Structure 1
């Protein structure tokens, strides 16, 4: 398959590249992570991601997002990776997408606008390494309202205001 970016996606890519140019080289990111009082997320960057709408890419317009869809999110993910952008952009966008797809209307109304604005950070605990996405392979179980399980890799859990956890009987917002 051959994919081509639309004019809108190319404009988004170019805007992100322009914004990121020279901001986060490997040395700056290393210093950020090694600083003893740092959570690995530059506050000015996070605020800017919200202002630019880059946290709202998958949030529907009715929840103050821009709802550009997965292709636009892929453009952002690629550019953030190429630009060595630190922070929980991916986890936040995926937590929002999980809420959009599986959250109650109340959860969506409470959290999606805050994700779009950059007011909260998210993380996802969805899959065990090497497992396919199925309820039986979910990393957690639930019993009497308590989750139990272990997952070795969750990006930025220490900074997450919202954590979406996959259990064998459904998704949980922690």
Structure 2
């Protein structure tokens, strides 16, 4: 396992950073919080033209044919720029179609996803709020779906919602048009357009149902979880950089606060956490991309660490800024609020430590 980026990955990272610094500045992030859609169709089109939506989709379906590890490199830059909108849910939907879809389903949906002409999201959690397989209780019976999904990302702007459900004793994923369900946008700390989605006698065609056996479901969950880790790594890195720059400029008692040992200790703790996050995330991303036997354990450890470490990083960032950091005038609060969303999605630190304990049979 070589955790160094290849030349191609370095080019992807650097070009993505340059593009997002120009196209997704702080002003754009703030504007999308107030925007009803929560994303910019113009920016979405530009990203599609770069091939990002179809990055890991095979070329035969209109994608770029890159690996999942390459996608993790890109999503780290999305976390750094706090890119709003449905990009990550779109990639999770792609992962579901790639892992569980038939050839006909891939041919039908993946080209739309790859060229950005259709937006996809996924619906997994229910009122129980559980992120494990047993948390899915919605049933597909008589060709119809009934029930409620919660915390569905960007459901209000999605064209299709890939919905986790049960058909008898089996797990399935169902491609449902947004027009067939009732969507209510929820108010969240991150202002990120999560939604409640209600299914009432939603008719489902047989060719829109995908079987999701345990092993396939584990692969999909690993990919979705690693993407949240990658986002957190980029977010935490940028939070650290902003905080260090502020400590160099903020003067108190006639000297920059960065000269005080207490601030230096916080900065040292932040960079230690960020470096650890990056190492463990890429280890999990590599194991997932390569289909390694250790992927389940690697992903659980990565999400447990990234969830907790990123929370420490943004807390230190707030403390370095002091009270002013909690005002909306300062950019640092944007990172604080979005960290909480990514920390909780696909399970927090406690959830994944329990998974590690179960795999170790403790």
Normalization by structure 2: what TM-score?
A: 0.44
Could you tell me which of 120, 145, 150 is aligned with 1:152? 150
Larger radius of gyration, structure 1 or 2? 2
Distance (Å, rounded) in 2 between the aligned partners of 1:2 and 1:72: 14
* 2:15 match: 15
Distance (Å, rounded) in 2 between the aligned partners of 1:110 and 1:131: 28
Distance (Å, rounded) in 2 between the aligned partners of 1:88 and 1:108: 20
Contact kept in structure 1, 2:125 and 2:150, CA below 8 Å: no
1:173 aligns with 2:171: no
* 2:63 match: 65
Distance 1:117 1:9, change over 3 A: same
Distance (Å, rounded) in 1 between the aligned partners of 2:55 and 2:27: 29
1:90 aligns with 2:88: yes
Contact kept in structure 2, 1:126 and 1:139, CA below 8 Å: no
* 2:106 match: 108
Deviation larger for 153-162 or 2-11? 2-11
Gaps of 5+ in 2: 177-362
Listed one character per residue, the Cα deviations across residues 98-120 of structure 1 (whole Å, up to 9, x for unaligned) are 11111122221111111111101
SS in 2 for 1:53: coil
SS in 2 for 1:81: helix
Distance (Å, rounded) in 1 between the aligned partners of 2:27 and 2:119: 24
Deviation larger for 25-34 or 150-159? 25-34
CA RMSD after TM alignment: 1.9
SS in 1 for 2:164: strand
Distance (Å, rounded) in 2 between the aligned partners of 1:70 and 1:149: 32
* 2:135 match: 137
SS in 1 for 2:146: strand
Deviation at residue 56 of structure 1 after TM alignment: 0.7
* 2:117 match: 119
SS in 1 for 2:110: helix
Contact kept in structure 2, 1:21 and 1:83, CA below 8 Å: yes
Contact kept in structure 1, 2:97 and 2:110, CA below 8 Å: yes
Distance (Å, rounded) in 2 between the aligned partners of 1:150 and 1:49: 32
SS in 1 for 2:152: coil
SS in 1 for 2:56: coil
Distance (Å, rounded) in 2 between the aligned partners of 1:97 and 1:84: 22
* 1:45 match: 43
Listed one character per residue, the Cα deviations across residues 17-59 of structure 1 (whole Å, up to 9, x for unaligned) are 0101143334432222314xx4111111110111000001121
Listed one character per residue, the Cα deviations across residues 48-98 of structure 1 (whole Å, up to 9, x for unaligned) are 111000001121111011121211111111111111111100111111121
* 2:29 match: 29
Distance (Å, rounded) in 1 between the aligned partners of 2:3 and 2:150: 33
